[in-house]
Each structure stands twice: as structure tokens, then as C-alpha cells.
Structure 1
Amino acid sequence: MIHVVGHTAVDHISRVHHLPQKNHSTHITDRQVFFGGGAANIAAGIAALGETVTLHSCVGDDFAGSDYECWMDKLGIRRQFFVVPGTHTPTAFMFTEDAGDQMTFFEWGASKAFATAEAPALPLVHMATADPDFNCRVAEKSEFVSFDPGQDVFWYTKEQLESIISHTDILFANQHEVQQMCTTLGVTREALTKEVTMAIFTMSGDGSTLYMNGNEHFIPAVPVTLCDPTGAGDAYRAGFLSAYVRGYAPLACCRIGTVTASFVVEHAGCQTHLPGWAQMLERYRANFGTLEPLPSRG
């Protein structure tokens, strides 16, 4: 069982010819609504790959009976939700202009409840974007911790990062988040990798690197036709964790994460093109060869 802690959100993604100036307006040329939230994206990816997952999140009283709830039921995602009456499920409003610049407004809504919620003690947990203090409390009480600060890295104080990393077994981050963590902590990238059992740093289309036992292992990205990079990191984590609980070696887990992410970026939306294990395995073999057999359990 993999437990995932963090945001469940609804993403409203719009395109405009140009972002307006203050006190001006512009025309929306396209608008789509997707299921999102970093933790929910990861849980959906894990469920699609056939692993058992429980999502710990906050939702408003608008979630019950929604299309999103039906989608989670279809995937088989188990849920431990804090339902906050009188609030909205967290919602992101993203506006992208033709030149590529983007503006985002994020309504935390029900996720404000993380600040005062009782943290669960979990055997294996991945902590995605959520309230920093809540994540620290989850890490302190749990047995095996995977941590991904995501875009919330800027909200963590030095003391919070020191606390959570001291309990972290696997650290995930992209290059921007790594830089911010090093700045906040006042440490080098090398020193940061030595604080955890293993660290996986992703670099968008330039692949990823696994740091473990003082060694570095580079994993190239899988070449595909890119539609939308949003959600690639969440899919990578879903693939890695699904393989990890099955007993695969960390390097193979990284490759499986890479392959899982390659499906998601081919379509718009973080949960619209999630592969099953058989689909993932076919593409893995085409790019990395035979998947290493699981180690013998004696």
C-alpha cells in the first residue's frame, strides 16, 4: 500500500492571445477543465499502474457526487479525505498566452484544513505539495518517507526543510526546486543528496539523475511528441513508487518513472493519458531493453 499526502485540485486551463494589463480584459480562445492536484495526480498514476493507493487530501463539500469523485472511484483510489463544509475543493485557474507566458491563480479552499489536521502515522508515504507543517508532522510519525516539495518549496522555512529531510528516505525534486532547497538550507547540491538514502532530480526533457550511495546514475528522457509537460513529474513519481513497492532496483524504478511520464506529456491534462503496467512495460522495452527481473526473495 502506498499512501500519498497532498492536494486534490480541479484545473481550469485557458488560452488567450495575450495576458491583459491591469484593469484590462482579454478574450479566452480555449478553456478546458482537468482533474489535478499533485498528490491526486500521483495517486491516479499509481492506481492506473495497478498498485493499491490511499490518497490523504482535503476537499470541499462540492466534491461529493462530482465527476472527479466518479473518476477516482473508477481508478480504485482509496481515500482518507478531510471534507471541509462551506469551502471549495482547491482550484487552479491558469491562463496561457500565445507567446507562452502563463499566469496562475490558485484557490487553496479546503486545503487550508491541513494546517490544523491531525497527521496520520503511515508505513510508506509520499508527501507531495501540501501545508509544510502538516508534511513535517506526517514525516515525523511515518516509517518510510518519500518527499516532493513541488512548487510549495518556497513556503518551507529552513527549520521545516531540515526537519522533513531528516526523516526522508527518498527525495524528489526538479532542478528549480533543488536550487531553492539549497538556498533555503544554505547547502550545496552534493550535501543535500547525502542527507537522504536516495535523491532523484528531474530535468524536464533532459532526463533525470539518481543519487545513491555516493554515486550518480543518469536516466535519459523517452523521446515522444510533446503536447503538454504539465504533470510529467507527478507521473514520474507514480511510476517510480509503483515499481519500488514491487521490489525493483532504484535505477529500474527511475526508468519506469521516465516511461510513465512519457505517456502523460503526449496529451493535455495530468490524468488524461495514464498508462497501465502492460503499456508501460512495452514502451520500457522499446527504450531501455528488458526490464531487470525482480530480486529473489529466497
Structure 2
Amino acid sequence: MRIAVTGSVATDHLMSFPGHFSDQLLPDQLAHVSLSFLVDSLDVRPGGVAANIAYGLARLGHRPLLVGSVGADFEAHGAELAHLGVDMTALHVSSARHTARFMCTTDEAGNQLASFYTGAMAEASSIDLAEAVGGHGGVDLVHIGADDPDAMSLHTRACRALGIPFAADPSQQLARLDGPAIRHLVHEARLLFTNEYERALLLDKTGWHERDVLTRVGTWITTRGAKGSVVERCGEPAVEVPAVAVADAVDPTGVGDAYRAGFLSATAHGHDPVTAAQRGSALASFALRHLGTQTYDPTETQLHEALAATYGPEAAAGPPAPHAAADQTTAAQTTATRSATTRAPR
């Protein structure tokens, strides 16, 4: 199964606050919040939901097609992803804007305060998904992640017109989208990803009940952090999938993206949604142990050990070893990725 991943591509500025945000919030002053946090560290790394998911898929041996909008400053990041096996040839390159920026501060409890600068992502709606996937051998599944809202809508419409199954993952953009826009993105999705907060927000803004969502999507996956995830399908009981425990957690940023990469990889290999959720949790556990969203690199043995320890030995059987596709990456693809950062916008 060939997977296209659409969404944001960004540079992450990750900071750590040695305390708890909640200690600084006064209940009677929430209408006038003005806070500044002195952080202990700053780490600048590649990020963006689409790039993070594509990275995870590449680490698991896939060659995903990355579809997004970047700036000319993306060259080094793009070359790294291409080296791993990510197909970069469908990227739009802005001649006027920098690659998007994600600025996030994490406290000792894992709570986060974040801001996102759109940058080149504002031009993502200029991407013709039909041209992007048609010119690269076609795809079997499109993951539609947080992106420029117009681009998300256009990609969803294109998938329906082309008859390509898609995964709806509006995540951070739910706060910006209204009910009709959300209903458009979700309807007929093969997969729907939300976390607990996004789930509640989706239901509130659409006016749908849970059963209304389940009649419109194939499978609804709700991630719940350390509590694991829930897999739901219409007419079937919900299945709770425990998280893979992590004793030495470092950074929660991008953990959800790693979960999605593991889930999509298992789906591509023909596994059922519950098994896919287990594999998503396993990959997420490795992301949680590393600072940055594209720094983890588990071996096949480590992944199998994590699966077996949490879900039993039978859960470890399945997809091939990671890095299988990375060895297939050619010098020509890397060269094409580097040259792409000098192209004018389409």
C-alpha cells in the first residue's frame, strides 16, 4: 500500500519550563492572563505533522509521498527525509515565505503551550492533489493532516473525486474550523484520528452524536496519552488499547504523529485496527523517549519487544523490519529534493 501524507511541514522550537503552568494560573485572573516563562532549554529541530508522520513511516520501511508547502530554507531537512526514503517530489516550494514554525514550551507535567506560524503553509492550497498522486504512481491511502484549511478541504474533495480512501486528522485545526467545514473533512473518511479534547470539540462543533460520526467513518481512533487509545467502528463495541508504558519519558511533542505512523504502517500491511493501534502505541513509546519529533530510530527487535511486553508475544508478529525502504533511496531522489527548494511556486 502506497501512502501519501498531507499536512504541515515545519521547524520546531522546543523549550522546557522547570515547573508547572498550573501553578502560575490564578482562577480569578484568567480573563487577564499575561505570563512569561523562563525556560531552561531551547532545541530547534525539524517538525510538522506531515513530515513527522512521513518520517515514522520511512523508519518502518515505507516510502511515503509527502505533500505540503515549504520555504527555500527546507533544503537540509528535505535532504534528510529523502535519505530515509520519503518521496519529496510532490512538495510545493514558496519563493516568498519561510517554512512554518512551531514554538512549544513543555512543563514538568508534560503540559504544553504552543504557537504556530503558518509561513509557507499558507500556499498549500495551490497543490493539486490529483496531479501530485497521479504523477507519482498513484497512492492507496491519503492521510489528510493539519494544514492550511483550504488545502485540507481541497485534498478531501480530491480524494472523494478520485475514489482514494483517506484518513481525516484535523487535530489542531479543529479550533479554527466551523461545524460545516469539519463535517466536510470527516464524512466518508476511512480513518478518523482525534485525541480526547479534539473528540469533544469535534462533537460540539458539528452537533453530531458519537453514533453520527461512526455511521460516517470507517474507524474512529481516539488517543488518550498515557491511557492508550480507543478504537471504534459502527455496530461494534469500542476497544481500549493500552499504551506502551514509558518510564523515561523525555518529550511528548510529536508522539501522536508517531502513533499515526505506526497505525498507518500496520494498516498498509493489512492488519486490523486494534493491531494497528498497538503498533501505533509501540512506535509512539520510542518517540516519547527522545527530544524532537524526528529523532527516534527503533530497531525491529526493540519494536517487537515493546509489543510483546504490553500485548503478548502474538502481537509482535507482522510488518517487516524498519529501514527496508531506506536502502532503496537513490541519489537521484536526494538530488531532486535539493533542487526542488529552488523552484518557483506552482
TM-score above 0.5, yes or no: yes
Structure 2 residue 315 is matched with structure 1 residue 291? yes
Indicate the residue corresponding to 1:158 in structure 2: 179
Distance 1:99 1:288 in 2: 27
List aligned pairs for 1:137-176, cutoff 5 A: 137-142=154-159, 143-176=164-197
Q: Relative to structure 2, which stretch is displaced further, 175-184 or 25-34?
A: 25-34
Which residue of the partner structure matches residue 188 of structure 1? 209
Residues 201-240 of structure 1 mapped to structure 2, 5 A cutoff: 201-215=222-236, 216-225=238-247, 226-240=249-263
The Cα of 1:72 is off from its aligned counterpart by 0.6
Matched, 1:37 2:20: no
In 2, the alpha carbon distance for the partners of 1:12 and 1:6 equals 18
| Structure 2: runs of 5 or more not aligned | 25-31, 134-138, 319-346
Choose 172-181 or 28-37, whichever is displaced more.
28-37
Residue number in structure 1 paired with 2:129: 119
Specify which structure has the higher proportion of helix: 2
In 1, Cα distance between equivalents of 2:212 and 2:187? 13
Higher relative contact order, chain-length normalized (CA < 8 Å, sep 6+): 2
- The residue number in structure 1 matching 2:114 is 104
Does structure 1 retain, via aligned residues, the 8 Å contact 2:70–2:93?
Answer: yes
2: CA distance, partners of 1:92 / 1:38: 10
In structure 1, stretches of 5+ residues that fail to align are none
Deviation at 1:188, TM superposition (A): 1.8
Of 85-94 and 133-142, more deviation after overlay is shown by 133-142
User: Higher strand proportion, which one?
Assistant: 1
2:94 aligns with 84
Q: 1:132 aligns with which of 149, 172, 181?
A: 149
Q: Classify the secondary structure of the residue corresponding to 1:195.
A: coil
Judging changes above 3 Å, is the alpha-carbon distance between structure 1 residues 27 and 209 closer, same or farther for their aligned structure 2 residues?
closer
Say whether 1:6 aligns with 2:30.
no
The residue aligned with 2:331 is: none
Aligned length: 292
Letter in 2 for 1:30: S
With structure 1 as the length reference, what TM-score do the two structures score? 0.89
Which among 53, 57, 61 is matched to residue 50 of structure 1?
61
Q: Is the 8 Å Cα contact of residues 252 and 292 (structure 1) preserved in structure 2?
A: no
8 Å contact from structure 2 (residues 227, 243) kept in 1:
yes
* Residues 188 and 218 in structure 2, CA contact (< 8 A), matched pair in contact too: no
The amino acid that maps onto 2:285 is: S
Aligned position for 2:103? 93
**So what's the TM-score if we normalise by structure 2?**
0.77
SS at the partner of 1:50?
coil
How far does the alpha carbon of each residue in 1:54-76 deviate from its partner, in whole angstroms, 9 at most, with x for none? 11011101112x2x123212211
- Note if 1:63 corresponds to 2:79: no
Structure-1 residue corresponding to 2:221: 200
What CA distance in whole angstroms lies between the structure 2 residues aligned with 1:171 and 1:23?
Answer: 36
- RMSD across aligned positions (CA): 2.5
